[in-house]
Each structure stands twice: as C-alpha cells, then as structure tokens.
Chains A and B, each alone.
Chain A
Amino acid sequence: MSKGLRIITMVLGGFVVISFLHLWLNIGVEKLSWLSTDVRQETFKVGFLPVTCHLTCPVTDWINTNTTGKGFYEPVRFSGWPEIKESIVSGHLPATFLLAPLAMVLRQQGVPIKIVYLGHRDGTAIMVHKDSKIRNFNDLRGKTLAVPNRFSNQYLIVYKGLRDQGMTTADIKIVEMPPPDMPAALFSKSVDAITSGEPFMGQTEIEGYGRVLYQAKQLWPNFISCVLVIQEKMIREHPEQVQRMVDGIAKSGQWLDTSQENRMDAAEVVAKKYYNQNPKLLRYVLSQPPDRVTYTNLSLAKKDFEQIEGLAREVGILKAPIAFEEYADPRFSEKAQTVSLNKKGGQ
C-alpha cells in the first residue's frame, strides 16, 4: 500500500497548497476572523448589486477608505435579488440595499429588519427596441415587458403607469428577468420592453438598440427603488455603526449631486473597483441627463412609503396593511438630516 499512501499524500499535499494559495490570493490572511478578532467587530458586510440604485454603498466606502485609510464596512457584491434575499433572511448579512416593497413583504413575513434610509431617487427607465413602434403604454397592449422582480418598485411603476392610462397588468405580459440579462433580451427582441435600475437601461442606448419609453420621473416623481435595510439585531447592538453608515450615505449622496466632476470621478472608481463594468456605462447614466438618477433628498418620508404600500396592496404583493413604524426606523435618517443641516448652518 506504500504507493497508495504516496498518492493520498500527494493529493492532500496538493490540497494544502491550493488552500494556502486561495487564502493568500483571494481571502487575505488579515480577514480571517479567528486570526484577528478586532476586524470582525469593526467591519460588517453590506450587500449590494452593481446598479446605480446602490451607488452610494461603494461611494461611501471609497470616501471612507480615502479619508481614514480603511472603510468601516465591507461592501459585498451579489449577482441577483434571490441571493441577497436569502442572505438577509438567514441573518448572515447584517445590512443590505434592497427593493423597498421586498423589504416590506419580508418584514410582514416576520424577518427582523428595518428600512433606515433611501439609497437614491429616480434612476429607472422603461426601454423599448429602437425599431419598435411602441410610443406609450397603450402600444404595449399584448406585448411582453420584463421587470427585475415581482417585489420591485419597477413592477409597481409599470402598474401605476398602466392604471393611470385606465389599463391593468392583465393588458400586457409581464415576466421576471435578472437585469443583467435584459439588454441581450431586448437586442434579440425576445421581449418588447424592459425596465430595471441603471446602468442596464442606459447600456441599450450606448449599444444603439434601446430607446427610452419613459423615465421613472415622468410616471412617478421622486421615484424610489432601493432602500438601506438593517437587521434589528444590528440596530440594537451597534446603533452607532448604523448611524455612521447613514451619515456616510447622506454625505456621499450630497457629494455626488454637487458637481458633474464628482460624478465622473465616482463613475471611474466604482466601475473599476466595485462593479467591474466599463466606466463608460456609469459615466453615461450619471450624466445623460444629469438627473437620470439623483442622490439627495434621501431621508425616510412616511408619505413616500405609504404610496408604495398602497400600490403594493393594489397589485397584490402585500397581502395586508403594514404600518410605517413596523418596517421603518426613521431615527437614523432624522439624525443624519440634522447633521447635514448643522453643517450647512455652519458654513
């Protein structure tokens, strides 16, 4: 059996080498919680998708890393909504950017989370193929439209647009599709219209086959798609961290909306370091036009959410009414407001 033993030793030796390489190249020894306990207490994971609705997550981290040398949270990029949802439901993820109606539905189903802040305003469009004759909702009758998720505000905006034209969701065929797949689906004309957060809508314009049917603000002024959601355990145990994050988002949002140069800087860094996209995409959607997506006016307003709740109930994704206080914790948002007001007063 000496040869057998040799093979087993070789296989296990190979595994040790691969594990060591993986640890060294991909995990980073300093991130191992059992090697340095303080890291785990100081930073927490925040989930995001590579979309402009979540842009303040990497921008805040980037600003923190630049000003203090290291960020106080770790942005974790996901590839789709189901994975984010499962990570927050299981409690493995303390904080994440999430679709507002999805956050409400999860809260109603007993997941201990609270919405603490908005991530953006606007930043969604409904796109059709540039060859198509679709000019309004009426032309969409009988056509196929892709939305990111049934619990998304993109679904609600389509519902609202149809309702305002005296139509219903039964008049068009609505399918769910991960936003990264939408441009190719529109290009191949396998769907007639698509809607999701940027940059996937702008991408179809850059690549020359997409046309804007509606920008979100035409249908729903001050549109909200994604919100910052925190586990209640995290709020109880580390309220100062939550406040720090909300303050950071408020400030980086203001910074983003201060000048076009800031936006182009952010596009460059976020595309390369966080989203792994071509910077051209983010530069385009952050400037064409500049108010395509905005990052100010992010505090939690009860009436915004009551509107979302009302639409979610009409369309049937919320089965019963839910109180604002139950799914939202506006304390951090209120404090962030005073921070920025004080700062303005001092200037």
Chain B
Amino acid sequence: MKLRNLSFLLPFLVAAGLVTAWHFTVVASGSTIFPKPVQVLTGIVELARHGVLFKYVVASLFRISAGFLLALAIGIPFGLLLGWFGLAFRAFNPVIQSLRPISPIAWIPVAILWFGVSDLAPIFLIFLASLFPVVTSTIAAVQNIQSDYLRAARNFGVGGLSLFRKVIFPAALPQIITGIRIALGVAWLVVVAAEMIAVNSGLGYLIIDARNAGMRYDLVVAGMLLIGLIGLILDFLVRRLEQMDEVRWGGRRA
C-alpha cells in the first residue's frame, strides 16, 4: 500500500522539483525575457479569462483528431495489406521509406499550394506525419505474427477476409496500438508547425502569435505546457486501450 502511494506521488514530486528548479534558474540568471512559472500560470489564466483557452484547445484537438483518424483509417488497412502480401510490400516499401524521414515542415509550402488557407492544410500535415508510424508498425505487426496462429486458422478452414478479421488483425493489434501511440505523439509534435499556416486558432497558433505580440514569452511557454499536458492525457487514454483483454490477445505468448 505504501509503495503504491509512493509510485502515485513520485511523478508529481519530479514535476514539482523541475518547476522549482525552473523558477530559481530564471531568478538566478536575472533574465527579464524568460518567464517564471508564476508568469506562465498568469498567462494561462489570462487566456482562460479572454475565453480563448478553450477555443484554442478545441481547435488543436479537432485538427489533430481529424488528421490522426484519417491516418488510422488509411494507414491500418494499408499496413495490413502490405504486411500480408509480400509482393505489395516490396513494391511500396521503398516509396514509404523515402517519404517517411521528410519533416512536416518541409511539406508546409506544398500544403498551402494544395489546400490554401483553411483547416485542411494543417490537417493534411498532421495526417502525413502520423500516417507513417501507423503504416510501418502495422506492416511489422503482421509480418511478426506467430505462424502457429496462421497454421491453426488454416487447419480450421479459416481463410480470405475472415482470416484478416479473426486472426491477423487481433494478433497484430498490440503492436498496431504501439504504433498508434507513437503516431499520436508525432501528431502533437507537428501541431506547432501545422498551425504556422494562416489559421487563427489553436495551441500552435498561440505560440506563433505570442512571438508576433512582442514580449509575450509567457504565452509561448504556456502553449508548450498545454500541448504537453494534453499529450499526456491522450497517451494515458491510449494506454488504457492497450491494457484491455481483447487487445492483449495477440501479445500472450507461451
């Protein structure tokens, strides 16, 4: 019981320690530009009072979920197919691997040229960034399925679509979900870059806008903290998914 309490408290202690260190480092350096934790907190309160905090969180969440869900909808089926059919894998893999390392920032001009100044351009960037982790982890998941499962399924006469639905997908799911976790992290990673495009809401926009506004580095750091906090909550939710019985099926190994 005591150990449990400690493991619950420990993350808070580490965070509190870091915030304290931050405060005293700023005080010691005598910097008038870099904000103290209290100033950042006042900045967040100010945003909330102006009614933009909720709006910006909603805007970023919308763009993230749209791009991310699109990446899942396309990436998982595509990855399952490429993981299963060796020829398709050999055909597509070089293209996937050469597109994968390109930073979303490099795609900004292309996104503006294609989608103009609307929500579509940031959604496209987030989609692109989260697509590749989903595809590659799904491919690897299918390729790593234990052959026992497949042999057993064949013996029972399972084939075609139901093989995908009843064996391949569930067996690959744990690794796919790891890919989803990585992809969600990447999606949040690019939100600042994605919202550099002429949108006028969102947490990434908050950071860029604060740079335009003169000495508002408190809001820059506020935006960073908010992105981090929401990322933490989302990751917690996906991890809950990972621990469910249905999902753990494929991970159970003798």
Contact = CB atoms under 8 A, between A and B. Distances in A.
Interface string A265-298: 0000000000111100100000000000000000
B59 interface: yes
A181 B69 CA distance: 35
B37 to A, nearest CB: 20
Contacts of B112: 83, 86-87, 90, 92
B69 A15 contact: yes
Contacts of A180: 211-212
Contacts of B212: 50, 79, 180, 275-277
A79 B214 contact: no
Interface in B9-54: 33, 54
Given A3-B244, A77-B200, A90 B55 contact: no
Nearest to A202: B214
Contact of A4 (B117, B197, B246): B246
Contacts of B114: 90
A86 B109 contact: yes
A82 interface: yes
Nearest to B247: A4
A41 interface: no
B246 A183 contact: no
Choose among B33, B112, B115, B201 the residue with the greatest number of A CB atoms under 10 Å from its CB: B112
Given A45-B117, A180-B211, A83 B58 contact: no
Contacts of B69: 11-12, 15
A275 B213 CA distance: 8
B113 A89 contact: yes
Given A3-B244, A25-B54, A275-B212, A15 B116 contact: no
Nearest to A22: B62
B55 A25 contact: yes
Contacts of A82: 108-109
A22 B200 CA distance: 12
Contacts of B244: 3
Contact of A76 (B54, B58, B198): B198
Interface string B187-224: 00000000011101100000011011111000000000
A18 interface: yes
Contacts of A25: 54-55, 58-59, 201
A78 interface: yes
Given A183-B214, A275-B212, A83 B62 contact: no
A239 interface: no
Nearest to B217: A184
Range of interface residues on chain B? Answer: 20 to 34
A307 interface: no
B99 interface: no
Contact of B113 (A47, A86, A187): A86
A19 interface: yes
A50 B198 CA distance: 13
B66 interface: yes
Nearest to B200: A77
A18 B213 contact: no
A14 interface: yes
B88 interface: no
Contacts of B119: 27
B209 A79 contact: yes
A26 B69 CA distance: 21
Contacts of B214: 183, 199, 203, 277-278, 281
B172 to A, nearest CB: 14
A7 B241 CA distance: 9
B65 interface: yes
Nearest to A51: B212
A77 B211 CA distance: 14
Given A11-B69, A87-B116, A77 B198 contact: yes
A207 interface: yes
Top-7 shortest CB links A-B: A92-B116, A22-B62, A86-B112, A90-B113, A26-B201, A180-B211, A25-B55
18 contacts: A7-B241, A15-B66, A21-B58, A22-B59, A22-B62, A25-B201, A26-B55, A76-B117, A79-B209, A83-B196, A87-B116, A90-B116, A92-B116, A92-B117, A276-B209, A276-B212, A277-B214, A281-B214
Interface of B: 33, 54-55, 58-59, 61-62, 65-66, 69, 108-109, 112-117, 119, 196-198, 200-201, 208-209, 211-215, 241, 244, 246
Interface of A: 1, 3-4, 7, 11-12, 14-15, 18-19, 21-22, 25-27, 45, 47, 50, 76-80, 82-84, 86-87, 89-90, 92-93, 180-181, 183-184, 187, 199, 203, 207, 275-278, 281
